[in-house]
Structure 1
Amino acid sequence: MAETETLPGGDPSGEEEYTNRNEDQSMAEAHSSGDSSDSDSESDDEAEAKAQIEALETELSNNPLDYDSNVQYIKILRKQGDIEKLRRAREAMSLLFPLVPEMWREWAKDETTMSSGVEAFPAVEKLYERGVSDYLSVDLWCDYLNFVQEYDQSVRECSASGISKMRNLFECALTAAGLHVSEGHRIWELYREFEQAILLTIEETDSGSKEKQIQKIRSLFHRQLSVPLVDLRSTLLTYKAWEADQGSSVDCNSSELDGLSPHLVSTYQKALEMLNARVDLEEKISKKDVDTEKLQEFMVLICIFIHSSGDPARIQILYERAIAEFPVSSDLWLDYTQYLDKTFKTARIVRDAYYRATRNCPWVGELWVRYLLSLERSHSSEEEILTVFEKSLLCTFSSFDEYLNIFLTRVDGLRRRISGSKQVEDGMNYAVIRDIFQRASDYLSPHLKNTENLVRMHSYWARLEFKLGKDMIAARGVWESLLKISGSMLEAWQGYISMEIEMGQINEARSLYKRCYSKRFPGIGSEDICHSWVRFEREYGSLEEFDVAVQKVTPRLQELQLFRLQQESKNIGVATDERENSSKIIAREKRKPSSSSVDEQSPTKRSKTMAQNVKKANANKKAQESRAVETSETTELDKNEAVTDSSKETKDKSFKRPVSFDDQCTVFVSNLSLQAKDRDLQNFFADVGGVVAIRILKDKFTRKSRGLAYVDFCDEAHLAVAVEKNKQILLGKRLSILKSDPQLGRKNKVPGRGTKPEHGKMDSQETSKGRKESQSGHEDIQLKGRNTFAVPRNVKALGWSSTTTSRSNPQSEGALSSIGGFWKLFLLFVD
């Protein structure tokens, strides 16, 4: 600590210095007693400092987690010399945040200066112990070692206990920072100086003890020379000089390795090679001023060591050095703790690392989750795990899903303890799990309403109520509470029904269908629940119960179909009005310049131009009427789009051709979650690779997903691997993945859809081909209707054939519009 910042205390030297400073100050005040301006400025400074202290105290009382305000408050109190407030401020901050090494050094030095006597030594020693556990700092370790040697009476007297204590402390320092390439040599030198001081205390007559101590120093030299440190060559010269003083045959003036043992030469050369390989990166790290570049250099160095040497101790030192430079880098902490989980089997090392990680980055939920799991792996007590869990809930995370992950991790651990142990610990029963679920539901339900995560949590909760709590009524209560919050979610009802079916409660599942089949769900959820009820009755119900279900869902499906038709017609009308308005506006704009150009023409030329325009308009009108007759079998919308020549011209300009896909290397994905996005499919096929394009099929008017998609791949190899992922689950849905066959769609192209075959004629080759396929039992399947565009090219619907006469029979088509026809279509769809 600088002389100007030395605080008064019980230490004699400190008191004398403080007295001298007071005398100097008194003399200065005596010389300037006549100068009132100086005294006024001093009083102004004191008043300003007092105002700053009061303002910071108010700010910290409102927000104690403001790191910068804590630092500023300690700095001002230290400058003012308010000892008691300074101690309380430092203790309060150390409980909330890890302190940087410089703050720990200042604190320890201040306490050393202010205190005296043997009773003050343990308190300062405890400060050093706390400081070196926060971050790696060679400076702090050196201060710690020097303090113990100076103020510990047993160490000063070189008693057996004092020497043993000091050696243990030096070994801890070497473990923590002895491998630090650029600064670690300082700890080694302090260790050797301590051992050499002990050598001087041994009597010359005690040759045995003296030789034993010399061997300790020699061993310490050998250990240091095997570590890649920056002063490796100078250490070797020092060692040779020391050996010469001990009467050894080593010549300190000879070349570096002459006279040394082969084992020492080998370890030294290996250490020197490692140092030379790292020296460039070490220089880059020391010279980098930009934090991002410096962090990148650290990560490069760490990766090199992980893949080359693989020495866990050296890699851990590199991580600790990086963390000391970048303590709030969450990615660095995540990477470091993950490495420790995989590498170190010592539970204390991993547990301490997670403790420090959550103190530096408390806003990262993943760190808290891993912390809880590490405590469970190390068989920590329930009290310790509960403490960490409660601390995590006091933190602020970026999303509510992180809170949910912590809640579920805690539940997982309790479930494993209860179900896996024969003798349950005190307080370990299912009521604890129920309490955590209830807390999670109360806190998260308003924020995760109508989300799949909330449904999964309640599904997990209900299952544990039945499995561990042995209470079916409580399990139903869980689902009922979810329905009050997210009753408009189809997934909530499906999960509730699935649980009842899994537990064999068929009647309860049937009653749930009766409650929800008439509800309106997003997308095609209302139709899905109706079809699901019919399938349920076919599998579990009697004939009477099946008939009841069909009677109830049939009018509901008709109602839904009518509603969708009305919505489609309304959307078509709006779209038509918009097109007409835009056509009128564009036609009006186009007429403006044309009229001016006609005015400039001569009367004879103008009449000739008008006659040509009339003739052209009549020809266009006849051509449009002919096209309208040809396309009369298509939709009604195509008829209404026959417009004037100017409108058609505008339409052609504004119309953009859709991008065409050949589907030569494509898979068709069905049963896709309606919430799935392109990135979800991209991540799903990430292990396959080779994805070129993703096309999620959407409703023409609502623009919502239809649960179907095409995924294009760059080659057949990636395509084959993608098809193997069939029946895997994405976002809670088991996907159906099939290879798309575009050639089949071209063979079965329906006449009248963009083609105009001659009446009464048929290609004899196609006819013979159709007969051959009919004889062989392989018929070309033709799927028609507005919902067949998304069917994969190689899928054939059961019972549909190109030779079916009802396709071309008007009477059969009319029958489908009747109630009986709808009934037949419904049964086919249900099948």
Structure 2
Amino acid sequence: MSEGCLIIWFVLSCHLEISPWSYEAFSLWLDYLNFIREYDPLVQDCATSGIKKVRDLFERALTAAGLHFTEAEKLWEAYRDFEKAIYQTIAETDAQAKEKQIQLIRSIFHRQLSLPLSNMSSTLETYKAWELEVKQGCALDTESNYSDGVPTLVASTYRRALDMYNARVQLEDQISKQDLTDTERLHQYIIYLKFEQSAGDPARVQVLFERAIADFPVSVDLWLDYTCYIDKTLKVGNIVRNVYSRATRNCPWIGDLWVRYLLALERSHASEGEIASVFEKSLQCSFSTLDEYLDLFLTRIDGLRRRISSGVQLEDALEYSLIKETFQRASDYLSPQLKNSEVLVRLYAYWARLEINLGKDLDSARGVWESLLKICGSLLAAWEGYIAMEVELNHINNARSIYKRCYSKRFTGSGSEDICHSWLRFEREFGSLEDFDHAVRKVNPRLEELKSYKLQIDDSENPVKQSDHSKRKLGGDAPNVESPAKKLKDSAHGPKKVTEKGKAQLQNLDDQTGDIRGRVKKPDDSSDQQMNDSVQGKGKVYNDQCTAFISNLNLKVTYDHLRDFFQDVGGVVAIRILHDKFTGKSRGLAYVDFSDDAHLEAGVAKNKQLLLGKKISIARSDPKRGGHGMDRAGGGKRFESRSSSKEPHKVNEQPSGLRKHGGNSVELKGKNTFAVPRNVRALGWTADKPKTLEQDDENPKSNDEFRKLYFKG
């Protein structure tokens, strides 16, 4: 045998030893068997060991692919041809050996005819022809057992197989159509699989799964269904492990497949080395969610815990340090992403419990909780879990010291009040009267402080109605203010003739006043309109009532960076980064609006944390110290609450007393309520004041009238 043939032989045999049930197995088995029959000298010489080797290979091949509806016929035919060739080598004088070989060939025919395979009728005719050939050489003992050249029992099983064939032939036609799309073909496979599962033959279901996988090797749903089915029905460890090995090789990005793989290895009592190897491979893959990584770590820890707790002597000695190391790896990997989350608290609580139960080390368990508090110190559940462990161990003084550390901390929602009431209940149940009194002295001022703070928040969110005087001062009654042009008309001492120039001035004033009235009456924009304004670059005003002010930002920080930074907090409504109005570059400042105070407090708690390499400062925005809101379109420019004395007063412009205040409402400030051109007298001008020539009658004056004016002057 040549060196190249030896290499091919080695590769084929190794592959089939490792993966005899893979979807490539059918073609590989045929190639391998043909190769052995052609090049193996023991088989060529018809040696007993060679014949036994080929028969064993054929039986393994039939176990793997003998139920393939369309292709298995080739394997059965090759098996019969091999046995017929052996029959030809038997001497005519050895009647016993010839009869034995005939019975072997006949059994192969009978097995094939009992299966619903393609070309069943052709196989039956071949069998009949072979039986006739055999009859010529020997007489049958029981002619009554044959019907039309076929034994009665074989005919009965053939009819059952034919019924099974007829029930499946239409399904086979559906999956073999050439004009189907991949989606349609996969759907037809699923229908076929449900039919086979209802029939209840696990071997046929497995073969059909293998056929479907051959056409769709990276279909996640197929692999998940396949592995779930073999977990429930097949108990052969090698088959199950082989399927999982191929599933994770074809779809390595599915964490659920790796988790099931580890569980399957544990069920089949695999060695620690094999399980550890699979676990390490899984960590090299990229999963889409953190939950998949967490589930993988927990599955590994659960398996180690079960095997250590069982007390059964294993080949590989397991120590608790292996669990501790796995917990630490899980913490290092997941803590940055799961900071201040209930999931991380549950992981650490599990760790601390195993430190006590398996590690027998209380100090290490406390160290686990202390490590968690450094990561999730603003989370109430972390403190409650620590306290619960100490109470369960009846370490009352340690639990009390934890209450003293955390009762004054700020937690989200009603957590700050809850920890205070929890301390009081703890002292009622476990403490002395002095301990209870001490807790009351500490807790009551804290509860009063929290109550006062809550009232301030409620007042800021629901301000009381302003008095009519303050409304009037702020321009709340502006729509009812009398027009300056009308007052100008009424201030005259009687009806006077108005010139064309005066009419134009009055009309100008009416237009200005009407414009102001329209803006005052216009209601606030809806939230949808405000969003459209922000997209179109229109000015939007924010009241900063539930806003965090962020400074010391890296100039490269974007909206996505801030959104990811506050992802664990949640409740982010809007993000505004301040930019220089001339260069457009970031100023290192930003505002983040939250939906409520609970989320805002959690966001402020992230103060002094790193974002793109810089420790950012986060504080609650105080609108009373600055303007009334934020203008998104203006790049963060705030509207001032007072007019600037340096800005000159111009005709036909908005007066300095008018300022935006929340949407499109108008806030009126200053002594002059309305903007009046300088060539028109201001409000409050009475008729007793000296009149100018332009304000007097426009009729021509006589010399006597001018003389009188001169002497008066």
Query: Which bracket does the TM-score occupy, shorter chain normalised?
Result: 0.5 to 0.7
| Native 8 Å contact 1:136 1:321 kept in 2 | no
Matched letter for residue 385 of structure 1: I
Secondary structure, counterpart of 2:150 in structure 1: coil
Matched letter for residue 188 of structure 2: E
Aligned to 2:180: 289
Matched letter for residue 485 of structure 1: I
- Counterpart Cα distance in 1 of 2:187 and 2:216: 11
Aligned to 1:159: 47
- Counterpart Cα distance in 1 of 2:93 and 2:14: 40
1:140–1:700 distance in 2 versus 1, CA, 3 Å? closer
Aligned to 1:433: 323
- Counterpart Cα distance in 1 of 2:181 and 2:244: 27
Aligned to 1:628: none
1:575–1:487 distance in 2 versus 1, CA, 3 Å? farther
Please, which of 510, 534, 547 is the counterpart of residue 424 of structure 2? 534
The Cα of 1:210 is off from its aligned counterpart by 0.8
Instruction: Report how many residues are paired.
Output: 491
- Counterpart Cα distance in 2 of 1:703 and 1:509: 27
**Deviation by residue 1:555-583 (Cα, 9 ceiling, x = unmatched):** 11111111122122222249999xx9xx9
The Cα of 1:326 is off from its aligned counterpart by 1.3
- Counterpart Cα distance in 2 of 1:141 and 1:215: 25
Matched, 1:549 2:445: no
Matched, 1:379 2:280: no
Matched letter for residue 335 of structure 2: S
Matched, 1:234 2:122: yes
Structural mapping, 1:230-379, within 5 Å: 230-247=118-135, 258-287=148-177, 289-307=180-198, 309-379=199-269
The Cα of 1:289 is off from its aligned counterpart by 2.9
- Counterpart Cα distance in 2 of 1:575 and 1:442: 53
Aligned to 2:354: 464
Matched, 1:192 2:80: yes
The Cα of 1:180 is off from its aligned counterpart by 0.6
The Cα of 1:170 is off from its aligned counterpart by 0.8
- Counterpart Cα distance in 1 of 2:5 and 2:276: 41
**Deviation by residue 1:730-755 (Cα, 9 ceiling, x = unmatched):** xxxxxxxxxxxxxxxxxxxxxxxxxx
1:538–1:675 distance in 2 versus 1, CA, 3 Å? farther
Matched, 1:452 2:342: yes
1:703–1:508 distance in 2 versus 1, CA, 3 Å? closer
1:314–1:118 distance in 2 versus 1, CA, 3 Å? closer
Matched letter for residue 201 of structure 1: T
- Counterpart Cα distance in 2 of 1:116 and 1:436: 46
| Native 8 Å contact 1:323 1:332 kept in 2 | yes
1:423–1:701 distance in 2 versus 1, CA, 3 Å? closer
Matched, 1:207 2:95: yes
Please, which of 375, 393, 399 is the counterpart of residue 289 of structure 2? 399
Name whichever structure is richer in helix by fraction: 1
Aligned to 1:216: 104
Larger Rg: 2
Secondary structure, counterpart of 2:287 in structure 1: coil
Matched, 1:499 2:389: yes
Please, which of 18, 23, 29 is the counterpart of residue 135 of structure 1? 23
- Counterpart Cα distance in 2 of 1:557 and 1:478: 30
Name segments (4+ residues, structure 1) moved above 3 Å.
115-134, 422-427, 573-577, 583-588, 646-651, 674-677, 699-705
- Counterpart Cα distance in 1 of 2:258 and 2:405: 41
Matched, 1:476 2:379: no
Higher mean C-alpha displacement, 379-388 vs 315-324: 379-388
Matched, 1:563 2:453: yes
Matched letter for residue 424 of structure 2: V
- Counterpart Cα distance in 2 of 1:498 and 1:234: 76
Secondary structure, counterpart of 2:176 in structure 1: helix
Matched letter for residue 382 of structure 2: A
1:295–1:586 distance in 2 versus 1, CA, 3 Å? farther
Uncovered stretches (5+) of structure 2, i.e. residues with no partner: 141-145, 483-516, 528-567, 572-593, 601-713
Scaled by the length of structure 1, the TM-score of the pair is: 0.55
Matched letter for residue 356 of structure 2: F
Matched letter for residue 80 of structure 2: R
1:586–1:421 distance in 2 versus 1, CA, 3 Å? farther
Scaled by the length of structure 2, the TM-score of the pair is: 0.63
1:587–1:133 distance in 2 versus 1, CA, 3 Å? farther
| Native 8 Å contact 2:271 2:316 kept in 1 | no
Matched letter for residue 225 of structure 1: L
| Native 8 Å contact 1:136 1:176 kept in 2 | no
1:130–1:575 distance in 2 versus 1, CA, 3 Å? farther
**Percentage identity across paired residues of the two chains:** 57
- Counterpart Cα distance in 1 of 2:478 and 2:114: 89
The Cα of 1:205 is off from its aligned counterpart by 1.3
Matched, 1:176 2:64: yes
Structural mapping, 1:18-167, within 5 Å: 115-116=3-4, 121-123=9-11, 125-126=13-14, 134-167=22-55
The Cα of 1:117 is off from its aligned counterpart by 6.5
1:352–1:475 distance in 2 versus 1, CA, 3 Å? same
Please, which of 392, 407, 417 is the counterpart of residue 517 of structure 1? 407
- Counterpart Cα distance in 2 of 1:344 and 1:587: 84
**Deviation by residue 1:742-777 (Cα, 9 ceiling, x = unmatched):** xxxxxxxxxxxxxxxxxxxxxxxxxxxxxxxxxxxx
1:127–1:346 distance in 2 versus 1, CA, 3 Å? closer
1:141–1:533 distance in 2 versus 1, CA, 3 Å? same
Matched letter for residue 240 of structure 1: K
1:215–1:427 distance in 2 versus 1, CA, 3 Å? closer
Matched letter for residue 94 of structure 2: D
- Counterpart Cα distance in 1 of 2:16 and 2:477: 82
Secondary structure, counterpart of 1:246 in structure 2: helix
| Native 8 Å contact 1:328 1:361 kept in 2 | yes
Aligned to 1:808: none
- Counterpart Cα distance in 2 of 1:137 and 1:426: 34
Matched letter for residue 64 of structure 2: A
Uncovered stretches (5+) of structure 1, i.e. residues with no partner: 1-9, 12-114, 251-255, 592-643, 655-673, 678-698, 706-831
| Native 8 Å contact 1:518 1:526 kept in 2 | yes
- Counterpart Cα distance in 1 of 2:38 and 2:314: 52
Higher mean C-alpha displacement, 224-233 vs 364-373: 364-373
- Counterpart Cα distance in 2 of 1:424 and 1:311: 36
1:559–1:424 distance in 2 versus 1, CA, 3 Å? farther
1:375–1:129 distance in 2 versus 1, CA, 3 Å? closer
1:146–1:323 distance in 2 versus 1, CA, 3 Å? same
1:502–1:128 distance in 2 versus 1, CA, 3 Å? closer
Aligned to 2:143: none
The Cα of 1:246 is off from its aligned counterpart by 1.2
| Native 8 Å contact 1:568 1:701 kept in 2 | no
| Native 8 Å contact 1:458 1:478 kept in 2 | yes
Structural mapping, 1:676-691, within 5 Å: none
| Native 8 Å contact 1:136 1:177 kept in 2 | no
- Counterpart Cα distance in 2 of 1:234 and 1:396: 52
